[in-house]
Structure 1
Amino acid sequence: MFEEQTGYIMSRHSKDVQGGLEITFYIKTESETVRVIPERQSSSFFTNAPLDYFPNEIRDVEVLECGLRDFNNDATLMVRSRSLLLQQQMIAFIQKGEYLVYEEDVKPHDRYLMERNIRGAVRFIGKRDGNTFTEAKLISGDFTPDWKVWSLDIETSVSRNELLSVGIVSQNNKIAFVVSDTVQDVPNTYFFPDEQRLLLALIKFFKRHNPDIIIGWNVIGFDLLFLDKRCKLLGIKPAFGALGEAWSIRSVEGKGKYFATIPGRVVLDGITLLKVGGFHFDSYSLNSVSKSLLDDGKLIHGGDRWQEIERLHSEEMDKFVAYNLQDCELVKRIFEKLDLIELQKTRIDLTGIPLEQTGGSVAAFENLYLPRLHKAGWVAPAWRDEPFVPSPGGFVMSSVPGLYKNVLVFDFKSLYPSIIRTFYIDPLARAVASHLAGKDLSNVNSDVDQEGVEDHVDDDCPVPGYLGASYDRSVAILPALVSELAQARENAKRDGNEILSYAIKIIMNSFYGVLGSNVCRFYHAELASSITMRGHELLNRSKKWMEEKGAKVIYGDTDSLFVTLSCPDEEVHERGNELCGLINEGLKDWCKEFAGLESYLELEFETLYTRFYMPTIRGQEEGSKKRYAGITNGEMVFKGLEAARSDWTPLAKRFQKELFELVFHDQDPREYIQTFVSDLTTGKLDAEIIYTKQLSRPISQYSKTIPPHVRAAMMIDSKREELNQPLEYNQGRKFVSFYYQHSGVTPFESGDAISNVDYDHYIEKQITPIADSVLPFFGLSVTKILTKQIELL
């Protein structure tokens, strides 16, 4: 009996079953999660091989004329196979004849959804048998899921490499599964005599309560990976799928990346989502992020916390369980505070990438671009084995160092998307223009002149780019796509939908990176360079026009210009808005003259710094880049300076902030510096002298140079080895804390006493560089100030 339902796609899969392809979607409906198998399944790709290359009949394979052309303007055929194995055999057969294959790596389940414009929400009808729908048809829907989210965290015995507990916190419950010889009176806790029985109970718990989304902190690379290894060791099938299927936990060798596939469920890692969402922290440890966002933290932290965890497990079970569940609670609260799940869902609703795919800029681009490309009559280009040619970076000009009043910052709104939209930057448009110009489209590394063409052309001519590229405006796809997204973002802003607006911004800004990345099939050096080099030109033109109007440009970076004006304070805003309007009108006229283009470039008067500091490069007179400080709307802002960097001590950060508070308010800093140094040397600031830095790789891989934090890590692990304890830093990617004694680098771990501090090191390496970057503007230096202090003693 056929039944119709609505739902949201949780996971998607393709595999051969009994010699034929089976595409499966796990869909969350209002009441359950079901398995949906569409009718008439096949896997397809394209080729430029001629029809007579193929035998007349190939069982379970169709070779069809499809009316689509490749980027060399050659006709293509579609090859449709009834199994994945057959597709691989057909690809090998075609490549043996030295013909090209296109889009052969697009997974059948992704193509199925892409061709039907299905993103996340779906309507489907099929023949129901229990939890499975067969012979199904799917179309796009508007279902809004009510997620059942579990925050999961495990605790392990480092000394025995065994599982101690699994904590789960959901919307309404907190539950811990604990391995223990005795059942104890701890609320919301289930006890099991061994790991095997705990894991079996956990699998049953998943099946009974059916979570949709599992969240955690490094949850795949640590928690799930550890559970998976213990299941394998104990001979347990990790049947954590929605309908009892086994999960798959895998890694990319040598890259430290981990992936989890759980049929019908999704795993989202907090660290990854923060980075994808553009949230920046000095440290992405759970304790650091929760302290910053929630003003709360882990109940135990520090390098030796594993010892305390094991002690609590043995001696104070209630505190052990509280520790485990607190980690789950912190993750849950971070996800809720930043709306990370809603942000991820919004990305899926916009692009159609899988819900589990937290990154995926290339996949998002292709999901949006390929259907439009096919509709226009083209297939994507073949993968090319060629050296990567990086595009020039964003515009950055040397700064004019100094202390300033009233520095105006002008930003181009969505500069790179606006360049794509205005100048028709597009893979297909480049290919068609190149073909019409008689170029060999297979040659990616064009040696044509490096400058953009600026001769006047009429509206029907290709738009000049860089590295010899030009763009046929009549076929360009990406500018229209950017226009759609830009309008959707404006609508989202108007409606107060901040998450949608932000998600669209992330997607639009990713297009430049995708086109400049050789992991994308559309990569071409001309594409990314035509974006960044045009950006350089626009910033330089705007700078020139501003200076012709009497402004002084003291710095420029990517999409921004920092400007001072010679006018009274009360006229700054009015003059800034006036200057902004003049530049926008100039850009509009220039685009029309350049190639008959409508300008979507928009300069905005973004920020006014009432006080502003631009330093020199340390030890030089040349102005620095990407480093400055200022006051705007009464708040101090630091970019790239010590106060904003994670590898400087809390001592240095506080010193810089307090020093600049005085400097920006025209107060004499000498007494403050003298007092600060006095407090430092008398031990009053010892709690702030700790350096914390992350290892980029295991300490065994450091050989040529041994930085201070690596020396500290080596000392810690050497001591642990002597005590026959597990090593802490042999895996890399961990934070190391240390400070300087007179004897040199000294490791610091939670609870250690600080002694024999080399205060001269901190004066020389932390205080003096910060102070002497600004004191010369007052004719002062740290040496003069401290020498004067000594003379007065």
Structure 2
Amino acid sequence: MFVEKTGYIVSRHTRDVGGHIEMSLFIKTPEGTVKVLPDRQLSVFFTDAPLTSLPQDVAGVQCVESHYQSFEHAAVVLVQSRSLVLHQQMVSLVKQNGYAVFEEDIKAHNRYLMERHIRGAVRFIGIPDAGGQTFRQARVIASDWQPNWTVWSLDIETSVSTNTLLSIGITAADQRVAFVVTEQASSSAVIQPFSDEKSLLLAFIRYVKKHSPDMFIGWNLIGFDLQFIDQRCQVLGIRPAFGVNGENWNIRSSDNQGKYFASIPGRVALDGITLLKVGGYHFESYSLNHVSNEILDDGKLLHGSERWQEIERLHKEDLDAFVAYNLQDCDLVLRIFEKLKLIELQQTRVDLTGIPFEQTGGSVAAFENLYLPRLHSAGWVAPAWHDDDFVASPGGFVMSSIPGLYKNVLVFDFKSLYPSIIRTFYVDPLARIVAQHSLEQAAQHTSDSANAQSSPLVSGYLGAHFHRQHAILPELVSELAHAREEAKKTGNSILSYAIKIIMNSFYGVLGSNVCRFYHAELASSITMRGHELLRRTQTWMEERGAKVIYGDTDSLFVILNKEQEDPQKQGERLRDEINVCLSAWCEEYAQLDSHLELEFERVYERFFMPTIRGQEEGSKKRYAGKSKGELVFKGLEAARTDWTPLARQFQRTLFEKMFNDENPIAYIQHTIAKLRSGEFDEQLIYSKQLSRPLSTYTKNKPPHVRAAAMIDKKRAEQGLPLEYNKGRKRVYYVYQRSGVVPYESPQDLMDLDYEHYIEKQIEPIADSILPFFKTSMASLLSQQISLL
């Protein structure tokens, strides 16, 4: 008997069972999470092979003519297979015969959901089993049901010296528990003690099954916590039955990238660090202690490079303090997620694009989920993957700056420049190939339709043209732009931001060779059009008496010659005039409706544009300004985490004085004197993140790499696991008179090389502004030496 329910897709999976595809959707319903098996699923791809060249008598495979065509304007055959094994065999057969295959890599469950415009919320009907946990012969359609998620913040503690699991901590709205390997007695209801790792892990699996959380969240959750638990399960011979109804999870790593992925049937694992970056948050360090102090004004109970020794000591001698430390980490993560609404952001991305909930990246997947159903509706299949040489498109527009110290610099930027270019100039994969075909046909008939007044074609760059009547992406961008405006009106900042990152990702997708739609003409027609628009805008502004001192991607920095007039009013008037110019030019160019909009962002009352160090030419992507009392640094040392805290604060104070028309020379001299006296020692610690595993640095070994190598050498001598062998970890180091040494404790601040810090940290910053005061660091330092 069929039963109907509403719910939200938590995870999706496809595998072969008994020679047939089993597609399983784990759906959270008001009563709990269930497994839904859609009826009669097939794996699909297309090919330009003639139907007569394909086998017609293979059981479980069906090849039929389709009404679709390829980007080469050829008819394609639809190949359907009832198993994944058959699918791969047919793909291999077609390729061996020299024919192309299309969309062969799209997973069956993703195609099923995509073509039905299903994102997250669903309504389904199916036949339940006796326990009501599995629904067969199901049919699924989109819905709007919103779940109330059960979220567990998970953190583990391990023994560095023995590489074993000590505890698993969990906090949630109604859960607070620590599973601990210990022989100590405790009266705490929070602590569940176990004599060994195996007992702990088996109990934790039972606990997960009983309480059935929807989501695990944590800090480096998959790459450390879940990966370590999975590793210990393998060593101890335990089946990792952490999914709904005891199904196994799958923790896997990417090749040579140090990234880990978790697939858990019926559950989602979300990492806080990754979601912060998705949400556009930037921190000097993404350590839990640093982020929680900034966001919550609270931090870990223990921190620092030597905390593992204290953790092991507490585990042996003070169980309550050990558990408090473990659960504090869980609490911090839970509070960060709640305060920044990170789960809401991720769900919004799912609702907009249909990406799997656990997929925190996935710009290409999001694009394809939105684009492919529209492409299919238009009668086309996506292009085949090509191994052509990748041609990078030109980057964003960056003009050489006019260095100097300015008053009243106006900043203008284009609102969503690249999406607006796509929308205005019909930049689109399908529109490009239809236009190309039209031009080829026109050439055969010796007509010049591309230049006709009523032409449906819009010219791009690198020889590209786009057919307005076959463009999918502009309409999609338009829908998203309107949705974003509505989100802004209703104050839905999360929805507005999610739409923004989706729209802005389209350019990157079209310019990336990991996308099947990549073509150099597409990305170049976006970036090079951006170059043209900024140059035209610069010309229009300068015709109106403004002077552009710098331009970068979508922004222009402008000074005006009417000092007696209010800069705000001048900026607003100039903005309005330029937008009129943009509309007129688009109409003149190709009878286009302009969706380009120049915005007047701000006035810098004081502004500094430096030269390239050691040259007279103006720098790029580096400046400082003061706007409404706020100091803003871009690309300068104050904004760079690889400079010492002293250098960064020194620059901030230096510019504060300069922008307030104070002479900074006494401050510089005072700073140098205090540095040499040792008053700034704790501010002289460098920090820089390894971008890859330590072992891959073979030729060039910068200071942070040498410091990391010293730490790992010492750990190896002590028989401890290496700390930097996976890369992507921040290294702290100082310069002593003997050279670079890692910073691990205050004792490492002995015998610091103060002259190094003056030369490499103070001098470059000071020399960028001292010419305005008719002096230099060399002069100031020689004065100090003569005084001594």
Shorter chain as denominator, the TM-score bin is over 0.9
The question of 1:600 aligning with 2:602 is answered no
Amino acid at match of 1:637: V
1:460-515: CA deviations, max 9, x gaps? Answer: 33100111110011110000000000000000001110000000000000000000
Partner of 2:543: 548
Partner of 2:96: 96
1:568 Cα deviation (Å)? 2.5
1:203 Cα deviation (Å)? 0.2
1:687 Cα deviation (Å)? 1.2
Relative to structure 1, the CA distance from residue 724 to residue 360 in structure 2 (aligned partners, 3 Å threshold; closer, same or farther) is closer
Relative to structure 1, the CA distance from residue 749 to residue 20 in structure 2 (aligned partners, 3 Å threshold; closer, same or farther) is same
1:241-288: CA deviations, max 9, x gaps? Answer: 011101000011211111100000000111111222222122222222
Q: How does 1:660-739 map to 2 (within 5 A)?
A: 660-739=655-734
Q: Distance in 1 between matches of 2:272 and 2:491?
A: 25
Match of 1:626 among 618, 621, 629: 621
Q: Distance in 2 between matches of 1:728 and 1:367?
A: 39
Q: Distance in 1 between matches of 2:698 and 2:378?
A: 55
The question of 1:587 aligning with 2:601 is answered no
Partner of 1:255: 257
Q: How does 1:396-407 map to 2 (within 5 A)?
A: 396-407=398-409
Q: How does 1:95-244 map to 2 (within 5 A)?
A: 95-129=95-129, 130=131, 131-244=133-246
Q: Distance in 1 between matches of 2:693 and 2:90?
A: 44
Q: How does 1:322-361 map to 2 (within 5 A)?
A: 322-361=324-363
Report if aligned partners of 1:186, 1:317 keep a CA contact under 8 Å in 2.
Answer: no
Structure 2: gaps (5+ residues):
443-447
Report if aligned partners of 2:552, 2:621 keep a CA contact under 8 Å in 1.
Answer: yes
Relative to structure 1, the CA distance from residue 725 to residue 256 in structure 2 (aligned partners, 3 Å threshold; closer, same or farther) is closer
Partner of 1:508: 503
Amino acid at match of 2:157: E
* Corresponding residue pairs, total: 781
Partner of 1:762: 757
Identity fraction in percent: 64
Amino acid at match of 2:153: S
The question of 1:565 aligning with 2:567 is answered no
Report if aligned partners of 1:39, 1:134 keep a CA contact under 8 Å in 2.
Answer: yes
1:570 Cα deviation (Å)? 4.6
Q: Distance in 2 between matches of 1:399 and 1:644?
A: 19
Partner of 1:41: 41
1:93 Cα deviation (Å)? 2.2
Match of 1:487 among 482, 506, 517: 482
Q: Distance in 1 between matches of 2:473 and 2:753?
A: 59
Relative to structure 1, the CA distance from residue 522 to residue 610 in structure 2 (aligned partners, 3 Å threshold; closer, same or farther) is same
1:771-790: CA deviations, max 9, x gaps? Answer: 11011112122233344455
Partner of 2:445: none
Report if aligned partners of 2:439, 2:450 keep a CA contact under 8 Å in 1.
Answer: no
1:320-348: CA deviations, max 9, x gaps? Answer: 11111111111112111211110000000
SS of alignment partner, residue 440 of structure 2: coil
Report if aligned partners of 1:214, 1:266 keep a CA contact under 8 Å in 2.
Answer: yes
SS of alignment partner, residue 68 of structure 1: strand
Q: What is the TM-score of this pair, normalised by structure 2?
A: 0.97
Q: Distance in 2 between matches of 1:569 and 1:738?
A: 51
Q: What is the TM-score of this pair, normalised by structure 1?
A: 0.96
Report if aligned partners of 2:432, 2:466 keep a CA contact under 8 Å in 1.
Answer: yes
1:725 Cα deviation (Å)? 3.9
Partner of 1:368: 370
Amino acid at match of 2:73: N
1:529-584: CA deviations, max 9, x gaps? Answer: 00000000001110111111111100000000000001236521111111111111
Q: Distance in 1 between matches of 2:96 and 2:692?
A: 42
Q: Distance in 2 between matches of 1:335 and 1:182?
A: 33
**Which deviates more from structure 2 when the two are superposed, residues 740-749 or residues 20-29?**
740-749
Tell me how large the CA RMSD over aligned residues is: 1.7
Partner of 1:443: none
Partner of 2:50: 50
1:751 Cα deviation (Å)? 4.4
Relative to structure 1, the CA distance from residue 245 to residue 544 in structure 2 (aligned partners, 3 Å threshold; closer, same or farther) is same
Amino acid at match of 1:713: A
SS of alignment partner, residue 105 of structure 2: coil
Report if aligned partners of 2:184, 2:319 keep a CA contact under 8 Å in 1.
Answer: no
Report if aligned partners of 1:456, 1:595 keep a CA contact under 8 Å in 2.
Answer: no
Relative to structure 1, the CA distance from residue 703 to residue 155 in structure 2 (aligned partners, 3 Å threshold; closer, same or farther) is same
1:107-133: CA deviations, max 9, x gaps? Answer: 111111111111000001111112011
1:338-390: CA deviations, max 9, x gaps? Answer: 11110000000000010011000000000000000011111111111211111
1:66 Cα deviation (Å)? 2.2
Partner of 2:9: 9
Amino acid at match of 1:149: V
1:722-752: CA deviations, max 9, x gaps? Answer: 4444433333322221112222222211443
SS of alignment partner, residue 397 of structure 1: coil
Report if aligned partners of 1:459, 1:597 keep a CA contact under 8 Å in 2.
Answer: no
1:608-657: CA deviations, max 9, x gaps? Answer: 11100100111111100101010112100001110100100000011001
Relative to structure 1, the CA distance from residue 638 to residue 187 in structure 2 (aligned partners, 3 Å threshold; closer, same or farther) is farther
The question of 1:268 aligning with 2:270 is answered yes
1:765 Cα deviation (Å)? 0.9
Q: Distance in 2 between matches of 1:312 and 1:376?
A: 65
Amino acid at match of 2:404: G
Relative to structure 1, the CA distance from residue 71 to residue 724 in structure 2 (aligned partners, 3 Å threshold; closer, same or farther) is closer
SS of alignment partner, residue 480 of structure 1: helix
1:182 Cα deviation (Å)? 2.6
Q: Distance in 2 between matches of 1:439 and 1:27?
A: 50
SS of alignment partner, residue 256 of structure 2: coil
Report if aligned partners of 2:56, 2:62 keep a CA contact under 8 Å in 1.
Answer: no
Amino acid at match of 1:238: P
Relative to structure 1, the CA distance from residue 281 to residue 383 in structure 2 (aligned partners, 3 Å threshold; closer, same or farther) is same
1:753 Cα deviation (Å)? 5.2
Relative to structure 1, the CA distance from residue 124 to residue 721 in structure 2 (aligned partners, 3 Å threshold; closer, same or farther) is closer
Q: Distance in 2 between matches of 1:720 and 1:439?
A: 70
Partner of 1:448: none
Q: Distance in 1 between matches of 2:356 and 2:236?
A: 32
Match of 1:517 among 491, 512, 515: 512
Match of 1:426 among 405, 425, 428: 428
Report if aligned partners of 1:737, 1:747 keep a CA contact under 8 Å in 2.
Answer: yes
Partner of 1:66: 66
SS of alignment partner, residue 747 of structure 2: coil
1:135-156: CA deviations, max 9, x gaps? Answer: 1111101110100011111111
SS of alignment partner, residue 528 of structure 2: helix
1:457 Cα deviation (Å)? 4.8
Q: Distance in 1 between matches of 2:266 and 2:537?
A: 53
Relative to structure 1, the CA distance from residue 186 to residue 753 in structure 2 (aligned partners, 3 Å threshold; closer, same or farther) is farther
1:668-708: CA deviations, max 9, x gaps? Answer: 11221122222211111111111111223333333323221
SS of alignment partner, residue 404 of structure 1: strand
Q: Distance in 1 between matches of 2:473 and 2:489?
A: 24
Q: Distance in 2 between matches of 1:506 and 1:439?
A: 39
Relative to structure 1, the CA distance from residue 39 to residue 703 in structure 2 (aligned partners, 3 Å threshold; closer, same or farther) is closer
Q: Distance in 2 between matches of 1:483 and 1:461?
A: 19
